[in-house]
A and B are shown apart, each in its own frame.
Chain A
Amino acid sequence: MAIRTVSRTILYLLLILLSLFYLMPVYVMLITSLKPLDQISLSEMWQLPHSLDFSSYQLAFEKLAPNFMNSIYLVIPATLLSALLGSLNGYVLSKWKFRGSDWIFTALLFGMFIPYQSILIPLIQFLREAGLYNTIPGLIFVHVVYGIPITTLMFRNFYASIPEEMIESAKIDGAGIFKIYQHIIIPLSITGFVVVGIWQFTNIWNEFLFAVTITTSSQQPIMVALQNLSGSQIVQWNVQMAGALLAALPTLLVYIFLGKFFVKGLLAGSVKG
Chain B
Amino acid sequence: MIALAFTLILSACSKSSSSEPDNKKSSGKLEIFSWWTGAGEEDGLKALIKLFKEKNPDIPVENAAVAGGAGTNAKAVLASRMQGNDPPATFQVHGGAELNDGWVAAGKMEPLDDLYDKEGWKDKFPKQLIDMVSKDGKIYSVPVDIHRGNVLWYNKKVFADNNLQAPKTFDEFFKVADKLKAKGITPLALGDKEPWTATMIFENILLGTLGNEDYQKLWTGDLKFDDPKVKKAAETFKKMLSYVNDDHSSRNWQDASQLVAKGDAAMNIMGDWAKGYFVNDLKLKVNEDFGWVATPGSEGQFMIITDTFGLPKGVKNAKDVKQFLSLLGSVEGQDAFNPLKGSIPARTDADESKYDEYGKQTMKEFKEAKLAPSLAHGSAAPEGFVTKANQAVNIFVTQKNVDQLIDSLNQASSELKK
Residues on A close to B: CB < 8 A? 81, 84-85, 88, 124, 128, 130-135, 137, 141, 144, 178, 181-182, 186, 216-218, 227-228, 231-235
Question: Is B67 within 8 A of A178, CB to CB?
Answer: no
- In the assembled complex, which residues on chain A have CB atoms less than 8 Å from the CB atom of B369? none
Of A131, A133, A181, which is within 8 A of B80 by CB?
A133
Of B3, B9, B17, B19, which is within 8 A of A81 by CB?
B9
A84 to B12, CA, bound (A): 15
A45 to B254, CA, bound (A): 21
A267 to B1, CA, bound (A): 32
**Residue-by-residue, is B281-305 near A (CB-CB < 8 Å gives 1, otherwise 0)?**
1000000000000000000000000
In the complex, the 3 A-B pairs of residues with the closest C-beta atoms, listed nearest first: A231-B68, A228-B68, A131-B21
What is the minimal beta-carbon distance from B43 to any residue of chain A, in angstroms?
Answer: 12
Q: Which A residue's beta carbon lies closest to that of B21? A: A131
Question: Is B66 within 8 A of A216, CB to CB?
Answer: yes
Question: Is B37 within 8 A of A131, CB to CB?
Answer: no
Q: A130-B18, A132-B20, A231-B68 are in contact. Are A124 and B9 (CB under 8 A)?
A: no
- In the assembled complex, which residues on chain B have CB atoms less than 8 Å from the CB atom of A228? 67-69, 73
A-B interface contact total, Cβ < 8 Å: 80
Question: Is A232 within 8 A of B84, CB to CB?
Answer: no
What is the minimal beta-carbon distance from B116 to any residue of chain A, in angstroms?
Answer: 31
**Residue-by-residue, is B1-38 near A (CB-CB < 8 Å gives 1, otherwise 0)?**
11101100100010011111111100000000000011
- In the assembled complex, which residues on chain A have CB atoms less than 8 Å from the CB atom of B67? 217, 228, 231-232
Q: SS class of chain A's interface: helix, strand, loop or mixed? A: helix
Q: A133-B80, A133-B84 are in contact. Are A227 and B68 (CB under 8 A)?
A: yes
Question: Is A131 within 8 A of B17, CB to CB?
Answer: yes
Of A133, A141, A144, A217, which is within 8 A of B64 by CB?
A217
Question: Is A141 within 8 A of B9, CB to CB?
Answer: no
- In the assembled complex, which residues on chain B have CB atoms less than 8 Å from the CB atom of A178? 2-3
Interface residues on B, range: 35 or more
Is residue B240 within 8 Å, beta carbon to beta carbon, of the partner chain? no
Question: Is B70 within 8 A of A231, CB to CB?
Answer: yes
A-B pairs with beta carbons under 8 Å apart, 14 shown: A85-B9, A131-B21, A131-B22, A131-B23, A132-B17, A133-B84, A134-B80, A144-B13, A178-B2, A178-B3, A182-B2, A217-B65, A232-B38, A233-B277
Residues on B close to A: CB < 8 A? 1-3, 5-6, 9, 13, 16-24, 37-39, 64-70, 73, 77, 80-81, 83-84, 86, 252, 254-255, 277, 281
Q: A135-B20, A217-B77, A231-B73 are in contact. Are A182 and B68 (CB under 8 A)?
A: no
A231 to B84, CA, bound (A): 26
Q: Which B residue's beta carbon lies closest to that of A215? A: B77
- In the assembled complex, which residues on chain A have CB atoms less than 8 Å from the CB atom of B77? 216-217
Question: Is A234 within 8 A of B20, CB to CB?
Answer: no
What is the minimal beta-carbon distance from A113 to any residue of chain B, in angstroms?
Answer: 24
Question: Is B84 within 8 A of A233, CB to CB?
Answer: no
A84 to B1, CA, bound (A): 13
Given A88-B6, A216-B81, 10 more pairs with CB closer than 8 A: A85-B9, A131-B19, A131-B21, A133-B80, A135-B20, A217-B66, A218-B64, A227-B68, A231-B70, A233-B39
Of A128, A130, A132, which is within 8 A of B83 by CB?
A128
Question: Is A231 within 8 A of B69, CB to CB?
Answer: yes
Question: Is B17 within 8 A of A130, CB to CB?
Answer: yes
A128 to B70, CA, bound (A): 26
- In the assembled complex, which residues on chain B have CB atoms less than 8 Å from the CB atom of A141? 13, 16-17
What is the minimal beta-carbon distance from A237 to any residue of chain B, in angstroms?
Answer: 12
- In the assembled complex, which residues on chain B have CB atoms less than 8 Å from the CB atom of A231? 67-70, 73
A179 to B250, CA, bound (A): 62
Question: Is A232 within 8 A of B68, CB to CB?
Answer: yes
A182 to B6, CA, bound (A): 13
A231 to B193, CA, bound (A): 11
A135 to B24, CA, bound (A): 10
Question: Is B37 within 8 A of A232, CB to CB?
Answer: yes
- In the assembled complex, which residues on chain A have CB atoms less than 8 Å from the CB atom of B1? 182
What is the minimal beta-carbon distance from B225 to any residue of chain A, in angstroms?
Answer: 31
